[in-house]
Amino acid sequence: MSKPEYECRSCGAVFSIEEFLQNKFCPKCGMHLQPKIVKTPFLPSTTKTFAKPIELSRDDINVHTLFTEFQRLENFSCGEGVSFLDVDEWISARKRAYADFKERFSQKRLVDWEKLRKDFQDFLHFKNNKSWTTLYRSGLKALEDLESLWKLLVFLQDESVETAERVREGLLGKYHCRGIGQNILTALLHTFDHDKYGVLNSRTEETLRLLRRKPKQAADVGLRYVFVNQELLHLRNELDTDLTTIDSFMWYVSKIVKVID
């Protein structure tokens, strides 16, 4: 195995790990050195695999390198035994699921309690939403009060209400529905508009911390989501991608990166 190298993204100069440890900045142009992205050929396999964890110090964590590696995933399983040939196939499946559930939860379709029960129960499982596992652990409790669930779904789609207020009222206020925490509520927002709303869950928080993109702190739960969403939007723009891919990237980093001191 070749030794890791570091490169200057400005002038293209490459340095050994020994040189990097002596000086983390390029002697030619002063830019901070980053881990070199190494392209390796994909070896076809019929086995569904996932990359081994990467041990990195905090100073060596580079979002662009990790994102490139994420985009190279092939033949992997990301939840409940569901597998995809590559990242593009996964993202496409996610967006098709969003379109389906956005239609199911539209106000014109929310006219039957039993249909709502079935549709929301479907949404809670990865095999249907193609995005998040274990939502059913708490989300099934929402089926005990279908009227409250109906009101929450309608309220979350009301774009005349500011985002922070929808999150605040949906989690702590008059639209709170038992079993719906920030993970499910923001997953619903993302489903309703995946160009505007990112997802806030434990993986998001941990990954933003690892990437040194921790948002501003806020005691208010609504503003807290807004600040996290701003960071996700910044990351989307920086990586020239979309929020669905960013949410998938959050999953990848939380699975693959192990921070060492």
Average pLDDT score, the chain: 88
Report the percentage of the chain scoring pLDDT > 70: 87
Four-residue CA torsion sign, 256, 247, 122, 202 = positive
Contacts of 129 (CB under 8 A, 6+ apart): 94, 97, 101, 123, 135, 187, 191
Closest CA to 104 of 116, 96, 86: 116
Would you say residue 260 has pLDDT above 50?
yes
| Top-confidence residue, 30 or 141 | 141
How high is the pLDDT of residue 121? 98
Would you say residue 42 has pLDDT above 50?
no
How high is the pLDDT of residue 39? 42
Would you say residue 230 has pLDDT above 90?
yes
Buried-exposed string 131-143: b where 16+ CB fall within 10 A, e elsewhere: bbbebbeebeebb
* Contact of 250 with 243, CB cutoff 8 Å: no
How high is the pLDDT of residue 43? 35
> pLDDT tens-digit profile of 190-219?
999 999 999 999 999 999 999 999 998 999
> pLDDT tens-digit profile of 169-196?
999 999 999 999 999 999 999 999 999 9
> pLDDT tens-digit profile of 2-22?
455 677 767 778 877 677 777
How high is the pLDDT of residue 180? 98
| Top-confidence residue, 245 or 26 | 245
